[in-house]
Structure 1
Amino acid sequence: MKLLNYTTKYFAAILLFALLIFTVIFYFQMLDEIYDSLDDGLENQKILVINRAKKDPTILHKTSFEDGYYTIHPTTYSEIRNVKDSYRDTLMYMLNEKDYEPVRLLETAFRQGDHYYKLKVITSMVEEDDLIEDLLYSILWLYIGLVVGVLLLNNWVLKRLWRPFYSLLNKLKNFNIEKEQSIDFEKTNIEEFQLLNLQVEKLLQKSIDSFKAQKQFIENASHELQTPLAISINKLELLAEKEELSPKNIALLASVLENLERMTRLNQALLLLSKIDNKQFVEEENLNIPEIINQIVYDFSDFAKHRNIEISISSQDAIQKFMNKDLAVILFTNLIKNAIVHASLNSIIRIKINEQKVSIENESETGKLDHQKLFSRFYKVNTRKNSTGLGLSIAKAIADKYGLALTYTYDRYHLFIVDFTKNSQAT
């Protein structure tokens, strides 16, 4: 949820709560004012009736409301001795409405001459259910208006105020440290955004400097380590060609050469992993994955034939992926080579390409692999001297870089799947 919508949600909830409280208070205050106004009107009508009775005694015998808003009943002093003005709500049948409607009634008493009279005066009042309904609709429209006002405020005023923040977010989203690009911060007069831009600029510069230093270190390490290793191997190979060496010395020399070559492969694999982790493979293009797999299988055909292993490819889907070509080749080379190396002699490796997935299945004498450690660095299924234990780690790093799901399952056969549709963990 966006920040503006998040704040709008809380504004709407607070407004609703505040309006509910306001509505209850306003309702009772308004009701109190209505009663005060009605009671004042009834008192005024009482005075008018009493004054009129003094001038026109004939109204003293008006005992029903059929032709007016008051009634007068003769009484005795003993009955009205303790009578005070009293106001109450009641119902009266209204001819125009043909129903009973609420009225406000004033009961009082007065003296005229030597006689005493009870006086009842009525006036129509607003029905409470109508009042509540009107008030509810009024508050509802007020709430809707306020919410719409808040939305307009957020999307017009606040959006303009937060523009530097969203501009920064968008530039950070598109920032690519591999390209060593800089960010042009939008000018703003808001102190907090100025501070944010300053701190982000410092962090980015520090990250870029660290990336450059790490990249330089990897390049230097690659050169400084590979060169002496290559020289040492060449000199030892020349030494091995000399005839005066005894078989024992030749065996020792061969062991040293084998370990140096393994160190060379290990160094290359670790440097490759470092480059992948540091995202130093910038160049990308739209690749035809089945075409790359077919080429890799062709390159390994002699090796597979030497082990009397058949590689079967069935392709029912055209998979296109925008990625670095070298990394794509390394990914499937490691998986296919791993299948050939660990497959049983005289077996078949099946590669299937369908439903945007590439599956590589092989039979092996080893049982189910530990999927918790399978993609860890230096994990080895056996003690093969030529293995660095980094092939699957490199494949997993490449898959993660491009959001591919590299998974492993076992059901009589070892099955590795590269899923181009989603990103998930190995199972």
Structure 2
Amino acid sequence: MKLLNHTTKYFALLLIVLISIWAVIFYFAMIDEVYDSLDDGLENQKELIIDAVKVNPDLLQDTDFGVNNYTIKRVDYIGQNKFKDSYRDTLMYMQNEDEYEPIRLLEGAFEQDGKSYRIKLITSMVEEDDQIENLFTYLVGLYLALVLSIVVLNNLVLKKVWKPFYSLIDKLKGFRIEKDEPIKQEPTAIDEFNLLNQSVERLTEKSRDSYIAQKQFIENAAHELQTPLAIAINKLELLLEKNELTGHQTEEVGGVLDNLTLLTRLNKSLLLLSKIDNRQYLEEEQVDFNGLIDNVAADFLDFATHKNMQISVVSNAKVRYTMNADLAIIMITNLIKNAILHGEEGKEIAIEIEENKVIIKNYGQDKPLEIDQLFTRFKKVSADSRSTGLGLAISKAIADKYNLQLKYSFAQQHIFTVIFNTKG
């Protein structure tokens, strides 16, 4: 839900409470005003009738409510000062409505020629049920009109006010720290938006500076490590070639050489992981995985033959996906190499290309691997000292980068499946 609509929701709830309270107060204030008006009218009419009776005594004969809305009846002397005017609500049968309707009644007393009379006057009044129903109808209409006005105001007027904010959101969505495209603020007359723009600009610039510094450090460190490692390996290989060492010394030097070679591979793998994490592989293209898998399988043919293994590739569909071609090669290479390296000698490595997926199967140990730690960095599947424990971690990092699913399952065989997003 957008911010404007989110605030509209709270405005709508607040209006319900305020209008409800206002409706109750307004209703009682209106009823009180109606009663005051009716009572004033009845009192005025009473004074007029009393004055008219003094002029025309025949009016004293109006003892029933008929054409006139009053009655006058002779009573025993009670003294006008002992009988105060009283107002009350009652019901009277109305012929036009054919039902009883509420009326307002004034009952008072006066003296005429030494005699006492009681006078009653009536007037019609608004039915409370109808009044409440009408008030509710109008209030609902008012509420809907107010909510609609707020929505229109938000989407037409306030939307322009919030335009710098949404512009900044769009820029943040498209911001890539690995690209040299800093966020530039747009001028606005609103101080809060200017402060937000400046803060975001400073934050992104600082993040880019940190990213660049980290990237340079990793590349420099990897490069500086590669040079002495290469020199050390070369010197040890030359030392072995001179044949001036004893058998035990040769084994010791060979062990050091193996460790240095492992360290070299480890350094390259860590550098590759760092580049993937830092999104340094920007170039993307449509990769033909059918051709890619055929080429990688051909490259590993000698390695598989050495282990008395065969690699079979079955293509049941065409798989193309937009990603970095180098990373695609690395991902498939690591998975096939992992299958051969940890596969059982004399068994087949089966690669199946299905609709939007690639399946790699191999025989190995007769129990499933630990899925929770399978793609963890430096987690070795076997005890092979030549393994860096980063091959599957690198493949998983590449898959995650391009929204692919890399899954493992076990069904008499170890099965790695790469599932491609259909939108790729």
CA displacement at 1:362 relative to structure 2: 2.8
Change (3 A) 1:386 1:86: same
Partner of 1:402: 402
Give me the whole-angstrom Cα distance separating, in 2, the residues matched to 1:96 and 1:395.
Answer: 90
Give me the whole-angstrom Cα distance separating, in 1, the residues matched to 2:177 and 2:213.
Answer: 13
Q: Which moved more, 1:379-388 or 1:407-416?
A: 407-416
Partner of 1:120: 120
Q: Which runs of 5+ in 1 are unaligned?
A: 423-427
CA displacement at 1:378 relative to structure 2: 0.8
The answer as to 2:375 corresponding to 1:375 is yes
Deviations 1:128-178 (A, max 9, x none): 111112211221121122112212222233222222221111111111121
Give me the whole-angstrom Cα distance separating, in 2, the residues matched to 1:101 and 1:406.
Answer: 81
The answer as to 2:220 corresponding to 1:223 is no
CA displacement at 1:28 relative to structure 2: 0.8
Partner of 2:207: 207
Partner of 2:365: 365
Amino acid of the residue matched to residue 181 of structure 1?
E
Give me the whole-angstrom Cα distance separating, in 2, the residues matched to 1:150 and 1:236.
Answer: 80
Give me the whole-angstrom Cα distance separating, in 1, the residues matched to 2:101 and 2:16.
Answer: 33
Q: Which moved more, 1:121-130 or 1:210-219?
A: 210-219
Partner of 2:385: 385
Partner of 1:13: 13
Deviations 1:246-281 (A, max 9, x none): 333332232222111111111111111111111111
Amino acid of the residue matched to residue 216 of structure 2?
Q
CA displacement at 1:79 relative to structure 2: 9.8
Amino acid of the residue matched to residue 7 of structure 1?
T
Q: 1:28-39 to 2 correspondence within 5 Å?
A: 28-39=28-39
Give me the whole-angstrom Cα distance separating, in 1, the residues matched to 2:77 and 2:106.
Answer: 19
The SS at the match of 1:64 is: coil
TM-score (norm. length: structure 2): 0.92
The answer as to 2:129 corresponding to 1:129 is yes
Change (3 A) 1:96 1:345: same
Amino acid of the residue matched to residue 321 of structure 1?
Y
CA displacement at 1:49 relative to structure 2: 1.8
Q: CA RMSD in A?
A: 2.2
Give me the whole-angstrom Cα distance separating, in 2, the residues matched to 1:396 and 1:313.
Answer: 22
Give me the whole-angstrom Cα distance separating, in 2, the residues matched to 1:357 and 1:92.
Answer: 87
Give me the whole-angstrom Cα distance separating, in 2, the residues matched to 1:119 and 1:316.
Answer: 106
CA displacement at 1:82 relative to structure 2: 4.1
Deviations 1:265-298 (A, max 9, x none): 1111111111111111111123233443333333
User: CA contact under 8 A between 2:78 and 2:116: conserved in structure 1?
Assistant: no
Partner of 2:419: 419
CA displacement at 1:106 relative to structure 2: 1.1
Change (3 A) 1:217 1:39: same
Change (3 A) 1:175 1:111: same
CA displacement at 1:81 relative to structure 2: 7.4
The answer as to 2:14 corresponding to 1:4 is no
The answer as to 2:191 corresponding to 1:194 is no
Give me the whole-angstrom Cα distance separating, in 2, the residues matched to 1:257 and 1:143.
Answer: 83
Give me the whole-angstrom Cα distance separating, in 1, the residues matched to 2:25 and 2:313.
Answer: 79
Change (3 A) 1:318 1:128: farther
Q: Which moved more, 1:341-350 or 1:77-86?
A: 77-86
Amino acid of the residue matched to residue 344 of structure 1?
E
Q: 1:6-405 to 2 correspondence within 5 Å?
A: 6-78=6-78, 82-354=82-354, 356-405=356-405
Give me the whole-angstrom Cα distance separating, in 1, the residues matched to 2:318 and 2:83.
Answer: 101
CA displacement at 1:315 relative to structure 2: 4.4
Give me the whole-angstrom Cα distance separating, in 2, the residues matched to 1:15 and 1:417.
Answer: 56
User: CA contact under 8 A between 2:342 and 2:382: conserved in structure 1?
Assistant: no
Partner of 1:425: none
Amino acid of the residue matched to residue 121 of structure 2?
V
The SS at the match of 2:373 is: coil
Give me the whole-angstrom Cα distance separating, in 1, the residues matched to 2:250 and 2:168.
Answer: 65
Give me the whole-angstrom Cα distance separating, in 2, the residues matched to 1:128 and 1:320.
Answer: 75
Give me the whole-angstrom Cα distance separating, in 1, the residues matched to 2:51 and 2:269.
Answer: 114
The SS at the match of 2:65 is: coil
CA displacement at 1:321 relative to structure 2: 2.7
Give me the whole-angstrom Cα distance separating, in 2, the residues matched to 1:231 and 1:397.
Answer: 31
The SS at the match of 2:178 is: helix
Amino acid of the residue matched to residue 198 of structure 1?
Q
Deviations 1:286-334 (A, max 9, x none): 3233443333333323333433334444444544432211112212222
Amino acid of the residue matched to residue 199 of structure 1?
S
Deviations 1:74-97 (A, max 9, x none): 221259874321111122222222
The SS at the match of 2:308 is: coil
The SS at the match of 2:221 is: helix
Change (3 A) 1:350 1:115: farther
Number of matched residues?
422
Deviations 1:108-139 (A, max 9, x none): 22221232222111111111111112211221
Give me the whole-angstrom Cα distance separating, in 1, the residues matched to 2:294 and 2:55.
Answer: 120
Give me the whole-angstrom Cα distance separating, in 1, the residues matched to 2:415 and 2:408.
Answer: 6
Deviations 1:25-54 (A, max 9, x none): 111111111111111111111112222222
The SS at the match of 2:117 is: strand
CA displacement at 1:182 relative to structure 2: 1.9
Amino acid of the residue matched to residue 52 of structure 2?
R
Q: Which runs of 4+ in 1 moved over 6 A?
A: none
The SS at the match of 1:103 is: strand
Give me the whole-angstrom Cα distance separating, in 2, the residues matched to 1:151 and 1:256.
Answer: 74
User: CA contact under 8 A between 2:110 and 2:116: conserved in structure 1?
Assistant: yes
Amino acid of the residue matched to residue 289 of structure 2?
I
Amino acid of the residue matched to residue 124 of structure 2?
S
Q: Which moved more, 1:101-110 or 1:307-316?
A: 307-316
Change (3 A) 1:346 1:26: same
Q: Which moved more, 1:166-175 or 1:304-313?
A: 304-313
The SS at the match of 2:365 is: coil
Give me the whole-angstrom Cα distance separating, in 2, the residues matched to 1:313 and 1:65.
Answer: 109
Change (3 A) 1:81 1:352: farther
Give me the whole-angstrom Cα distance separating, in 2, the residues matched to 1:369 and 1:104.
Answer: 91
